[in-house]
Amino acid sequence: MNSCALSVIAPAKLNLFLHITGRRDDGYHELETLFTFLDHGDELHFQPRQDSRLELAPMNGVANEDNLIFRAGELLRQAYQQRGLEVCGVNIDIDKRLPMGGGVGGGSSDAATTLLALNSLWGNKLSLDELAELGIQLGADVPVFIGGSSALARGVGEQLQAVDVPQHWYLVVHPQVHISTAAVFGHPDLPRDSAPLPQQWQHAEHRNDCEALVKKLYSEVEKTLQWLLKYAPSRMTGTGACCFAAFDSERAALDVLEKLPTEWQGFVAKSLNQSPAHTALGLN
Ligand SMILES: C[C@@](CO)(OP(=O)(O)O)[C@H](O)COP(=O)(O)OP(=O)(O)OC[C@H]1O[C@@H](n2ccc(N)nc2=O)[C@H](O)[C@@H]1O
Ligand SMILES: Nc1ncnc2c1ncn2[C@@H]1O[C@H](COP(=O)(O)OP(=O)(O)O)[C@@H](O)[C@H]1O
């Protein structure tokens, strides 16, 4: 193994609440959402090459040229080249653990971890703000993973205010349905008129504005939430399909995971105010 090789976690995120306050002319929605990270995620391995090629090991379900990891790598390489900086090639491999299209941000987190790790391998010539500007071109959720702190996000997710949120153990359940973010945001019945958060937003009502519509369109999500709510306060993350329930201890969360109906998948993880990718790369 090359001594410069890196293995970095791409953590899951939860949207602890998600309010939709409007829609921009380009169709994107204005959100107010509270992000936190989990100590569970995909694991990406970066191994420098002798030549200048970026090689990504195949991942089930996504063609390599569409993979956000590859697209992030190419974007960063171009940014380095535009500055006249030479970079080495890298082999990238992934242990994919996060459900795709599940609302836990796996693709965005993979993209952000790729930007952070390659930037580190290539000498940290770009700042975190410059990486976030590249990241927003790949997805609305990428900047929060570049920022690396639990955050209240506004705009389409790029205006970030770092905040510490109380930490819990979460049981995250994937009801095994794939939900398209674009389809939820494009649906005529989606509410888009939530009032902006008050100054003391910590004490305001917290909800996910996509949840009622997604429950109506996908009965498995409704069933999942009804089941989780028997045990703990529960909500959907992002545009679904994953739902999460908050517990005070790992044991309490694991006890409920053991009862999970076999048709669903779940995992237990602790929330983190700092991304484990930043911790691994010494960025905190
Ligand atoms: C809703 C959120 C909340 O965290 O999470 P997910 O459920 O997808 O994880 C995000 O804002 C999703 O971010 P991300 O998954 O990066 O979305 P993008 O690829 O940028 O956009 C996918 C599609 O969703 C719509 N979209 C996305 C974000 C936004 N603020 N308004 C939108 O209308 C657009 O139609 C866009 O074409
Ligand atoms: N590395 C990746 N991991 C996951 N999804 C990816 C990746 N690269 C591209 N995608 C595409 O992005 C879509 C959304 O992925 P994901 O981030 O898992 O969803 P969500 O934002 O709902 O959590 C997937 O359905 C897939 O087509």
Is there a catalytic annotation at residue 193?
no
Q: Does ligand 2 lie within 6 Å of residue 268's CB atom?
A: no
- Which residue range is the domain that position 23 belongs to? 6-164
In a domain, 199, yes or no: yes
Q: What is the mean pLDDT of the segment spanning 117-136? A: 97
Name all residues whose Cβ lies below 6 A of ligand 1.
Answer: 15, 18, 27-29, 31, 33, 103, 105, 108, 139-141, 156-157, 181-182, 185, 238-239
Domain shared by 36 and 84, yes or no: yes
Percent with pLDDT over 90 in the chain: 93
Return the SS3 of 105: coil
- Same structural domain, 159 and 177: no
Asked whether 116 and 92 are in contact (CB, 8 A), the reply is no
Q: According to the 3-state scheme, what is the secondary structure of 181-211?
A: HHHHHHCCCCCCCCCCCCCCHHHCCCCECCH
Shared domain check, 158 and 42? yes
Residue 1 confidence class, pLDDT cut points 50, 70, 90: very low
Instruction: Give 244's strand partners.
Output: 172, 235
Q: Closest Cα to atom 2, ligand 2: which residue?
A: 107
Residues 132 and 181 placed together within one structural domain of the fold: no
Q: Does the annotation count 25 as an active-site position?
A: no
Do 81 and 180 reside in the same domain of the chain?
no
Position of tokens 């959720």? Answer: 141
Query: Do 154 and 177 share a structural domain?
Result: no
Measure the N-to-C terminal CA separation of the chain; round to a whole number of Å. 26
Q: Which of 164, 191, 206 is the last residue of a domain?
A: 164
pLDDT surpasses 80 at 3: no
Same domain, 59 and 149: yes
pLDDT of residue 154: 96
Indicate the number of domains in the chain.
2
State the Cα–Cα distance between residues 75 and 48, nearest whole angstrom.
17
Q: Residue 16: its pLDDT value, please?
A: 97
Kindly state whether residues 40 and 126 are assigned to the same domain: yes
For residue 71, the ligand 2 atom closest to its alpha carbon is: 8
- H-helix or E-strand containing 145? helix 142-147
φ/ψ (deg, to 5) at 132? -65, -35
Catalytic residue (choose from 42, 110, 141, 209): 141
CATH for 204:
3.30.70.890
Determine the length of the chain: 284
Is residue 281 situated within a structural domain?
no
Using the 3D structure, point to which of 131, 164, 197 is the last residue of a domain.
164
The CATH number of the domain holding residue 59 is: 3.30.230.10
Q: How large is the average pLDDT for residues 186-208?
A: 93
Task: Indicate if 110 and 211 belong to the same structural domain.
Answer: no
Residues 174 and 155 in one domain: no
Q: Are 15 and 148 members of one domain?
A: yes
Q: Cα 36 vs. chain centroid, distance in angstroms?
A: 9
In a domain, 217, yes or no: yes
67-109: pLDDT as tens digits = 999 999 999 999 999 999 999 999 999 999 999 989 999 999 9
pLDDT tens digits, one per residue of 20-75: 999 999 999 999 999 999 999 999 999 999 999 999 999 999 999 999 999 999 99
Is residue 1 in a domain?
no
Q: Which of 164, 181, 206 is the last residue of a domain?
A: 164
177 Cα to the center of ligand 2, angstroms: 14
Instruction: Answer whether residue 277 is part of any domain.
Output: no
Domain check: are 241 and 132 in the same one? no
ipTM score assigned to the predicted complex: 0.95
The three-class DSSP label of residue 164 is: coil
| pLDDT, average across residues 213-238 | 98
